[in-house]
């Protein structure tokens, strides 16, 4: 009976140690990862009672660069132009002409087309890309 108890205790200790290692690795990844999220923009307060202000970010354009090899994968750089908007709505829900946009900004992300010799969804073209 004592051997079985000792094995059970060792098994629990291994699981706890494994869980702590996983938590520490996740925390390290979060600390090292670059923060790419942009803070929500601020809109002017509604001038009249009952008006609603809805901040949003609209996609104004997307450009894909030429595919290139990164290690064993094929990737491309996608540049997205985003347009921050401040939309105002009247008390009855109609769109107000007081709405406006702020200066556009661009974000760049790396998109994987092929991982090794197989396509990565949603890309359905040949690997390597032509």
**% residues pLDDT > 90 (the chain):** 59
**% residues pLDDT > 70 (the chain):** 70
- Burial zone of 45 (CB within 10 Å; 0-12 exposed, 13-18 middle, 19+ buried): exposed
Q: With respect to residue 6, please indicate whether it lies within any of the assigned structural domains.
A: yes
Out of 31-35, 70-74, 86-90, 103-107, pick the least confident. 31-35
Q: With respect to residue 92, please indicate whether it lies within any of the assigned structural domains.
A: no
Number of folded domains that form the chain:
1
Mean pLDDT calculated for residue range 87-100: 93
Determine the pLDDT at residue 31. 44
pLDDT at residue 14 tops 50: yes
Q: With respect to residue 60, please indicate whether it lies within any of the assigned structural domains.
A: no
Q: Encoding tokens for residue 127?
A: 């690997």
Q: With respect to residue 30, please indicate whether it lies within any of the assigned structural domains.
A: yes
pTM above 0.85? Answer: no
Instruction: Name the residue range of residue 21's domain.
Output: 1-35
Q: With respect to residue 3, please indicate whether it lies within any of the assigned structural domains.
A: yes
């Amino acid at each position: 009976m004592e051997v079985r108890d000792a094995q059970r205790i060792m098994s629990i200790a291994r699981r706890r140690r494994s869980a702590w290692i996983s938590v520490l690795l996740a925390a390290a990844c979060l600390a090292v990862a670059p923060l790419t999220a942009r803070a929500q923009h601020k809109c002017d307060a509604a001038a009249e009672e009952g008006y609603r202000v809805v901040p949003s970010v609209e996609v104004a354009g997307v450009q894909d660069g030429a595919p290139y090899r990164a290690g064993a994968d094929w990737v491309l750089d996608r540049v997205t132009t985003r347009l921050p908007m401040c939309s105002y709505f009247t008390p009855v829900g109609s769109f107000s002409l007081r709405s406006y946009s702020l200066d556009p900004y661009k974000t760049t992300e790396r998109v994987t087309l092929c991982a090794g010799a197989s396509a990565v969804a949603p890309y359905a073209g040949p690997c390597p890309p032509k």
